[in-house]
Amino acid sequence: MMHTCIYCKGPITLRGKGDHIIPAALGEFLCATHFRLICAACNNKIGQAEQQLLQCGPEALERLGAPVVGRRGRYKRPSKFVGAGGAPPPLTVEETPLGPHSVDLIDPQNVTPVEELTILDEKEHWHRLRLHPQMKAEALRQRVRQMKLKEIRQCSIFAPADHYDGYLRLIKEAWPESEHLPLQQVPAATRQIEANTTFTVTDNYFRAIAKIAFHYYLAFSRCAFGHESEFAGIRDFIIHGGDWRQFFVIANHFGICIPKGNSHPHHSHYVAYDESGDKVRAFVWLFVKDSPGTVPYEVEWPRRRSVLVLHKPYQAHEYRYEDVIDHKQVAGRVHEKTILAFPGQLFLTIL
């Protein structure tokens, strides 16, 4: 039997699993329902937007601490974040007496200091420039010229002891008139740091969130298939991008209460929808845990008016990371959840 893709209207055959509602890079889950009315080309196009979700947002860091098992049980922890879709990777900076210092957060419990030069300009603003042992003096000067600084008041080197002297010679070669003020060396040790992480994303990030919400709704709704004209706006945004504010309600507009002991102690993903009003309201919260982590999102789009809603208005599932006996190639299992609404308070309580 032939069907058509809800995005490009091209023919598709319902073979294989279809689209993973939660991206497969976040884990394979037993009992997961897949959305199948999408062709491979459109699925790949949306997958390119999902790279920003995996590389640039808070979820990028949270997935490092979760027991993710990817396709066919092969999950490789990223060696570094490189950014995606026109957005840079998360930037984590520690404030030090010598200025801000970047660190790599590949393991949430362990940071890797970045070898870099920090520069203080005439406006008391700090600039950071990554160093590497093979860098030449002319290349360093060129990088600094590109910053278009009027004045360099101070520079600080952050590097391990075996590279520090080499970088010092590099700076002296680049700026022979510079003066070196030696400071007391900080011994190598394991210590806690206070740092701030900045996340920069574009509409690609929100396209990926909207896809999870929309495909989840279509996979479980008995009132729509996705081709309907009411969904033209959300379809166009998911496949082409645009102004995400058309569909996203302000972050933290709702909360999810999870009874103690009911959820996995590490991480879960929650997806839900409500179509009791004139709009479908879908909720996506990835990597939910006890301590603050990622942001919950609410996505809205017009509900199909021509169909009477006969089934219960609220639907929700938890994608829970957990050990599954005899299934070493999955990250966990999907659990259907019961939702109660409390107007004026936390919108959802998931039991």
Give the other-Cβ count within 10 Å of 127's Cβ.
17
Q: How many CA atoms lie within 13 A of 233 on its CB side?
A: 15
133: which 2 tokens? 């042992």
Interstrand relation of 152-158 and 116-121 (parallel, antiparallel or unpaired): antiparallel
Residues in the chain: 351
Tens digit of each residue's pLDDT, the chain (351 residues): 568 999 999 988 766 567 899 998 888 899 999 998 999 899 999 999 999 999 998 888 888 777 777 655 555 566 677 889 899 988 888 888 777 888 877 666 667 778 889 888 888 888 888 899 999 999 999 999 998 888 888 888 888 888 988 999 999 999 898 888 876 666 666 667 777 888 899 999 999 999 999 999 999 987 788 999 999 999 999 999 999 999 998 654 444 455 444 555 568 899 988 887 788 888 898 988 766 668 888 899 998 876 665 555 567 899 988 888 777 778 889 998 876 653 433 444 454
- Cβ burial of 70 (10 Å; 0-12, 13-18, 19+) is middle
What is the tens place of the pLDDT at every residue in 27-51? 889 999 999 899 989 999 999 999 9
Kind of pairing between the strands at 348-350 and 314-321: unpaired
Q: Express each pLDDT in 74-128 by its tens digit.
A: 555 666 778 898 999 888 888 887 778 888 776 666 677 788 898 888 888 888 8
Distance (Å, whole) CA 52 – CA 63: 13
Helix (H, G, I), strand (E, B) or coil at 263: coil
Report phi then psi at 346, rounded to 5: -55, 130
What token pair was written down for 300? Answer: 């809205």
Round to whole Å and give the CA distance between 137 and 131: 11
Residue where the block lists tokens 């390119």 = 48
Q: Which helix (H) or strand (E) holds 296?
A: none
